[in-house]
Structure 1
Amino acid sequence: MVETSHIYYGTIVHTLSVKNLEIIQQAVLVVSNGIIVKLDRNVKDIDAYISSASCTNYVLHRLGEHEFLIPGLVDTHAHAPQYVFAGSGMDLPLMDWLNTYTFPSESKFKDEQYAQDAYAKTVHRFLRNGTTTCSWFATIHLAACKRLVDTIHDLGQRAYVGKVNMDQNSPDYYVEASTQASLDDTRLFIDYTKAKAGHDRLITPVVTPRFAVSCSTPLMRGLADLAKEYRLPIQSHLCENPDEIKFACSLFPDCKNYTDIYQQHGLLGPDTYMAHCVHMTDDEINLLATTQTGVAHCANSNFSLQSGVCDVQRLLSHGIKVGLGTDVAGGFSPSILDAIRSGFWASKMKKVIERDMHGNSDYVCLQPSELLFLATLGGAQVLGLQDLIGNFVEGKAFDALWIDADRGNVDLIGDLTIFQKLEKFLFNGSADNILHVYVQGRRVSGVPDDENDLASSGDTLNHGVALDHTTKPSI
């Protein structure tokens, strides 16, 4: 059977680096078996272009005047069980918030049916908001963690999934039976997830000590050994809140600082990424840079839980990989568009703080193109997926969003450039502007009227855009 290629013709927007935004008009993007096999620029006549090609089966997708493709959004930090109370319980700082809202809510996931129902809504919502790749924290419950993996697999998201580890300083109703039980269940979860991922490998298990406060030395060292044995990534939390930092350092007095706790337990490195990193000393910044550890920037959560303002430019200036995270439910929104906007305001706030302290400030705030980078290629770099996703380079997977910038709450008035349309989508847009969501070439979400058909179909559907189905020589 001859594979059908999909040809996308129109405007493409992506980043090649944090400082390099590329807008390609009259672009031809050819996808085969979910992989980008060709990207051509400045093609004025798509029909003539296709006629000169020499393959057989293809489907042509023409983007409209106000439409463009961007890479799929990457969420480097989200808590799947916390979506059930996202948007509520925002009155307390981190440590009180965990005990009052988070741990009671997560403990409910010992009920496997409850977990399955909650996770179906959660993953669906993240996909609908354009998150094609997500790094998930689950709970301590092995059975429920498996249900999350099943749900992600069925809905087609690319994901890192972690069974959470907690063997100390946790409520009696939400703590693992023993350190060995935690490690044994983690091994079972890793084996289950790797088997479930199969040949497409869209799902990856990630070793997930919740944070140093809730993990003993034997547990952290055991998790580091598992990560090394299976060659897996590691995720956790770091320097989010002053009270958390003080508590963590009191538990490990022989370590120089909070970051050094993870270093001394073998948990930092190129395959590790830490959420938040708000209150970092120079020594800690240098340690992240030296170990090539990445950072998930979760500005909404940092504001909502009164944790502080992360200086992303400081991290980037040290060569540290940075991506965006929603941190649901510390952050109240499941959309990376919100993370972009929160990151924008956090950057502006750093400038205001510097100006108030020094009377003036030459601090350079994050620009829209840099925020798009953090939401796509930057996030891919944090997860070690930069050679697979993050932009539209030939050979990468086609993880993409088809955007209609003149839809929903966005009104395009007058003669706007493509960059202005991109800005309006980033700052005013919503899921209403996302016509199609693709993961590895398969359409997994999109405008609501066709969502019921998505579970069993990878076909591209027509929502009023020009779409040609042709059987002629193709690319």
Structure 2
Amino acid sequence: MAPPKNERNQVFLGSFIHSKKLDELEYLHNTAVCVDKSGKIVAVEAEHDVEKNLDTLYSKLGWDASNVDVHSTKEGQFFFPGFIDTHIHAPQYPNAGIFGKSTLLDWLNTYTFPMEASLKDLTKARRVYGRCVRKTLSHGTTTAAYYATIDVPATNLLADLCLALGQRAFVGRVCMDNPDMAPADYVDESADASLALTRESIAHIRAIDPDYALVSPVLTPRFAPSCTRDSLRQLGALAAETGLPVQTHLSENVREIELVASLFPEADGYAAVYDGFGLLTPRTILAHAVHLSEAEAGLLARRGSKVSHCPCSNSAITSGEARVRWLLDRGVGVGLGTDVSGGYSPSVLEAARLALLVSRHLAMPHQQPGVSDADRERAKLSVEEVLYLATRGGAEVVGLERRVGAFEVGMEFDAQLIGLGLVEEASAGIKENEGQEDGGEDDGNVDVFGWETWEEKVAKWVFNGDDRNTKRVWVKGRLVHTRV
């Protein structure tokens, strides 16, 4: 099996918005983005009457107009790069919004492990995974770093579905062989067995997508307490052998950190546990990193390991507030994760707005006593910055910064068409249906009156938008979602 290919070249016409750098969005109006059959952007023609000059553009590219599909925006629409979810648990999708009154470790035993174990039933797994992939696509997520379960057939099924539905994905079989930290019916038999099962899943993904063009395996120790030392050692060796990415959890919760310290007393901190087993690499994705020390942040920066910021779950499970600016200032790359189902929403846009709000909590004096007013003010993230984390920042976290995250020549076309609701001027007098829906397309909660700047339109989308604004989604140039 190989990823489906496009049969035709494509031209996308209209307004394109993407991150130029952390704190700056670039607005490209009256622009043509040309995408070849492989899904790669081969030309970006900005700020001229592109529709009248398409023949010239085709000639320059050596394209035949009869084999080109043209997509144009309507009023109130723009193209934006696809979102990158750097941390999501696919088998937990049915539990989104269910976390009770428990903290992290209790929640795992009450809700998470039973749900994950039940997906050994492949009929149930297909139902759950199919819905999860389709739902995340509908929210504009073109790339997702998925945790699966310990079961190989169910993990392989998730990879199959991502490939078939067209979502770019990292799919990891979860490794957990510590019998003291897992239910008796949901644990790997041994470190050797865990490694063998992981190799099985890697082999399957290599078979269905040999170049990892769309779907890649990712080594996935759930978190340090769930794995024995032998398992962590073998996974570190496998990472060195294969060069595959690694994903795990780090410093999410105070009780978890205390547990790690008791289980690994020889290590100088939680991050050092992973480092001691060779699991801190430039391709390592560390979810949460809420309670890092200065030394740990420095270690991550030296190793080139990245952080997935999950503001929704950190708030929902009362884990804490990750200091994104603090991490960035120390040279640690950061992206956004929904962390379904610790997080209640599969939307990266929701994660972006929550990241912005959490950063404002960190700017409040009672949250960081003894911190200067200037440093607290610096903690605040802007609309531009959280959109960077959702796209280019996320691409860096998952190692795809040269392939996706922006509309640049040489990158692959992972994009979403965003449509905002236009409020029409009312005619004089009162119409019969005044106050009723007009029966047109549902553009959700974003109302645009026409006098807003582009920066203001984007801000409205970040704070008020949802999947109703995501009209179409493409991955590698392939249309993978259309809102009916």
In the superposition, the TM-score normalised over structure 2's length comes to 0.90
Mapped contact 2:307–2:333 kept (Cα < 8 A): yes
Deviates more, 1:53-62 or 1:332-341: 53-62
State the Cα RMSD in Å.
1.6
Alignment partner, residue 253 of structure 1:
265
Mapped contact 1:43–1:49 kept (Cα < 8 A): no
1:388 partnered with 2:393: no
The correspondence for 1:7, drawn from 5, 11, 27, is 11
Distance 1:375 1:210 in 2: 23
The one-letter code sitting in structure 1 at the alignment partner of 2:290 is V
- SS of aligned partner of 1:87: coil
1:411 partnered with 2:419: no
- SS of aligned partner of 1:24: strand
Change in CA separation of 1:278 and 1:130 when aligned onto 2, cut-off 3 Å: same
* Offset at residue 104 of structure 1 (A): 1.2
- SS of aligned partner of 1:11: strand
Distance 1:52 1:126 in 2: 34
Distance 1:93 1:59 in 2: 51
Distance 1:226 1:52 in 2: 47
For residues 140-188 of structure 1, the C-alpha deviation after alignment (integer angstroms, 9 at most, x for no partner) is: 1111111111111111100000000001121212111121111100001
Mapped contact 2:32–2:50 kept (Cα < 8 A): no
Alignment partner, residue 40 of structure 1:
45
The one-letter code sitting in structure 2 at the alignment partner of 1:85 is N
For residues 374-420 of structure 1, the C-alpha deviation after alignment (integer angstroms, 9 at most, x for no partner) is: 00000000011000001011011000001112222211124112221
Change in CA separation of 1:217 and 1:199 when aligned onto 2, cut-off 3 Å: closer
Deviates more, 1:214-223 or 1:81-90: 81-90
Mapping of residues 260-409 of structure 1, within 5 Å: 260-353=272-365, 357-358=369-370, 361-362=373-374, 363-364=377-378, 365-406=380-421, 407-409=443-445
For residues 164-216 of structure 1, the C-alpha deviation after alignment (integer angstroms, 9 at most, x for no partner) is: 00011212121111211111000010010111114562000000000000001
1:50 partnered with 2:55: yes
Mapped contact 1:86–1:328 kept (Cα < 8 A): yes
Distance 2:127 2:12 in 1: 36
Mapped contact 1:187–1:226 kept (Cα < 8 A): no
Alignment partner, residue 153 of structure 2:
143
* Offset at residue 19 of structure 1 (A): 2.5
Alignment partner, residue 112 of structure 2:
102
Alignment partner, residue 31 of structure 2:
27
Distance 1:388 1:134 in 2: 14
- SS of aligned partner of 1:319: coil
* Offset at residue 50 of structure 1 (A): 3.4
1:208 partnered with 2:220: yes
Alignment partner, residue 184 of structure 2:
172
The correspondence for 1:421, drawn from 457, 467, 472, is 457
* Offset at residue 425 of structure 1 (A): 1.2
Alignment partner, residue 253 of structure 2:
241
Alignment partner, residue 443 of structure 1:
479
Moved runs in structure 1, 4+ residues, more than 4 A?
353-356
Distance 1:359 1:164 in 2: 39
Alignment partner, residue 436 of structure 2:
none
Distance 2:103 2:482 in 1: 36
* Offset at residue 358 of structure 1 (A): 4.4
Mapped contact 2:361–2:367 kept (Cα < 8 A): no
The correspondence for 1:117, drawn from 120, 127, 145, is 127
Change in CA separation of 1:355 and 1:260 when aligned onto 2, cut-off 3 Å: closer
In the superposition, the TM-score normalised over structure 1's length comes to 0.91
- SS of aligned partner of 2:448: coil
Percent identical pairs in the alignment equals 40
- SS of aligned partner of 2:335: strand
Alignment partner, residue 173 of structure 2:
163
Distance 2:148 2:474 in 1: 24
In the alignment, structure 1 segments of 5+ residues that lack a partner are: 450-475
For residues 305-342 of structure 1, the C-alpha deviation after alignment (integer angstroms, 9 at most, x for no partner) is: 00000000001001111000000000000010110111
- SS of aligned partner of 1:389: coil
Mapped contact 1:26–1:44 kept (Cα < 8 A): yes
* Offset at residue 37 of structure 1 (A): 0.3
Mapped contact 1:354–1:361 kept (Cα < 8 A): no
In the alignment, structure 2 segments of 5+ residues that lack a partner are: 1-5, 422-442
Mapped contact 1:355–1:361 kept (Cα < 8 A): no
Alignment partner, residue 434 of structure 2:
none
- SS of aligned partner of 2:331: coil
- SS of aligned partner of 1:275: strand
* Offset at residue 261 of structure 1 (A): 0.1
Distance 1:204 1:50 in 2: 38
The one-letter code sitting in structure 1 at the alignment partner of 2:151 is H
For residues 114-158 of structure 1, the C-alpha deviation after alignment (integer angstroms, 9 at most, x for no partner) is: 111211111111111110000000011111111111111111100
The one-letter code sitting in structure 2 at the alignment partner of 1:167 is D
Mapped contact 2:362–2:368 kept (Cα < 8 A): no
The one-letter code sitting in structure 1 at the alignment partner of 2:334 is V
For residues 85-114 of structure 1, the C-alpha deviation after alignment (integer angstroms, 9 at most, x for no partner) is: 111124211011111111111110121221
Change in CA separation of 1:361 and 1:147 when aligned onto 2, cut-off 3 Å: same
